[in-house]
């Protein structure tokens, strides 16, 4: 059980509370244009996103993880290499779609936080796409299983995830409906589906 600020000891109750609070915080990020003043593609900006989403729930919000973590058979970057990996990601080019997705894949392999990486990183990715090529992903057009399988394979071969995400690009970068649907889908990929953001 992850230690949390509310002292919740039931995992399902924690998941519900985490979804409710962090979805509302995600909408604030959008409506207050908070990310507009921060550089795209930097780990420091991802830290800001993660801290903003989760600081009311976890003490480790925005902090680099201190544990080695894995998902299934895949091990994310070990702690001893994590800081240097993040510095390398900061310097990766991001001038076109392919470069941006390659950077996103590397950040996913790094998985810098203990919890909430995917949800934070998808907002981070859209921030880069918006800043660099004036597009974002319409996540409602990205199938959950297709996305998760393609991301799992992406460190070895990235053509699949690039195709899936390219087919979901939109130039409606400031569209509130696109953003709200996107957050709901982003959370659904991770198994969070109790609330619709428009109802919070």
Q: Mark 22-49 as b/e (b = at least 16 C-beta within 10 Å).
A: bbebbbebbeeeebeeeebbbbebbbbb
Of residues 152, 190, 125, 2, the one with CA closest to residue 70:
152
Domains observed in the chain = 11-193 (1.10.3290.10)
Higher pLDDT, 64 or 9: 64
CB atoms within 10 A of CB 16: 15
Q: Please state the pTM of the whole predicted model.
A: 0.96
Task: Assign 200 a pLDDT band (cuts: 50, 70, 90).
Answer: confident
pLDDT at 149: 95
Q: Report whether pLDDT(1) > 80.
A: no
């Amino acid at each position: 059980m992850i230690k949390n600020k509310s002292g919740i000891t039931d995992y399902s109750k924690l998941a519900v509370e985490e979804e409710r609070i962090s979805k509302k915080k995600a909408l604030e990020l959008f409506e207050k244009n908070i990310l507009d003043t921060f550089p795209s593609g930097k780990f420091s900006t991802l830290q800001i996103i993660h801290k903003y989403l989760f600081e009311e729930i976890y003490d480790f919000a925005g902090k680099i993880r201190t544990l080695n973590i894995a998902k299934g058979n895949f091990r994310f970057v070990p702690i001893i290499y994590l800081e240097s990996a993040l510095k390398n990601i900061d310097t990766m080019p991001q001038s076109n779609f392919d470069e941006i997705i390659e950077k996103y894949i590397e950040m996913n392999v790094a998985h810098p936080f203990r919890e909430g990486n995917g949800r934070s990183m998808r907002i981070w990715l859209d921030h880069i796409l918006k800043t660099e090529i004036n597009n974002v992903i319409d996540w409602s057009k990205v199938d959950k299983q297709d996305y998760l399988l393609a991301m799992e394979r992406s460190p070895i071969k990235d053509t699949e995830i690039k195709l899936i995400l390219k087919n979901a690009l939109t130039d409606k970068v400031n569209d509130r409906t696109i953003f709200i649907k996107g957050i709901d889908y982003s959370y659904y990929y991770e198994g969070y589906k109790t609330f619709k953001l428009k109802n919070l």
